[in-house]
């Protein structure tokens, strides 16, 4: 899923602190602006992936965030891409299908893993 959230960036000495007011407890920092934005994208993605996994309601992004001495920038994230980057390992699953489907699929050289992945992505709307 793709999301965009406002983040507040505040200079604090040599670091740039980042807070995402719409996502409770979502804070990070960077040594420079580029790193702070990258860390914000990572923190937001992680927060949203955990909420998605738990079936929690995803907060609606605010449109009127005040910077409080820093500046506000919108950060876009894609949790589907984030999941691929952070957990690329395949997992073996055992499943059962009717014998006639197995025979037909094998005779046509169908890749069972690819079909299952495609079906799961479609079902999960990814």
Which stretches within the chain are classed as H helix?
Answer: 33-54, 79-86, 99-107, 112-123
CA distance linking residue 104 with residue 102, whole number of Å:
6
The domain segmentation of the chain, as residue ranges, is: 2-86, 90-126
Burial code (b: 16+ CB inside 10 Å, e: under 16) for 2-19 equals ebebbbbbbeeeeebbbb
CB-CB contact of 4 with 76 (8 Å):
yes
pTM above 0.85, yes or no: no
CA distance linking residue 81 with residue 48, whole number of Å:
12
Q: What is the pLDDT of residues 38-96, one digit of tens each?
A: 999 999 999 999 999 999 999 999 998 888 889 999 999 999 999 988 887 788 888 89
The CATH number of 2-86, from 3.90.1300.10, 3.30.160.250, 3.10.20.30, 3.40.140.10, is 3.30.160.250
Q: What is the pLDDT of residues 4-36, one digit of tens each?
A: 999 999 999 999 999 999 999 999 999 999 999
């Amino acid at each position: 899923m793709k999301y965009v959230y406002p983040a507040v960036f505040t200079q604090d000495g040599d670091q740039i602190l980042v807070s995402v007011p719409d996502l409770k407890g979502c804070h990070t920092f960077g040594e420079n602006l580029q790193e702070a934005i990258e860390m914000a994208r990572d923190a937001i993605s992680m927060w949203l992936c955990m909420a998605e996994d738990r079936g929690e309601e995803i907060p609606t992004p605010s449109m009127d965030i005040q910077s409080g001495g820093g500046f506000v920038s919108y950060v876009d994230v894609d949790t589907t891409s984030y999941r691929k980057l952070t957990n690329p390992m395949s997992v073996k699953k055992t499943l059962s299908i009717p014998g006639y489907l197995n025979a037909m699929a094998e005779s046509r050289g169908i890749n069972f893993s690819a079909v299952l992945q495609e079906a799961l992505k479609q079902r999960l709307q990814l």
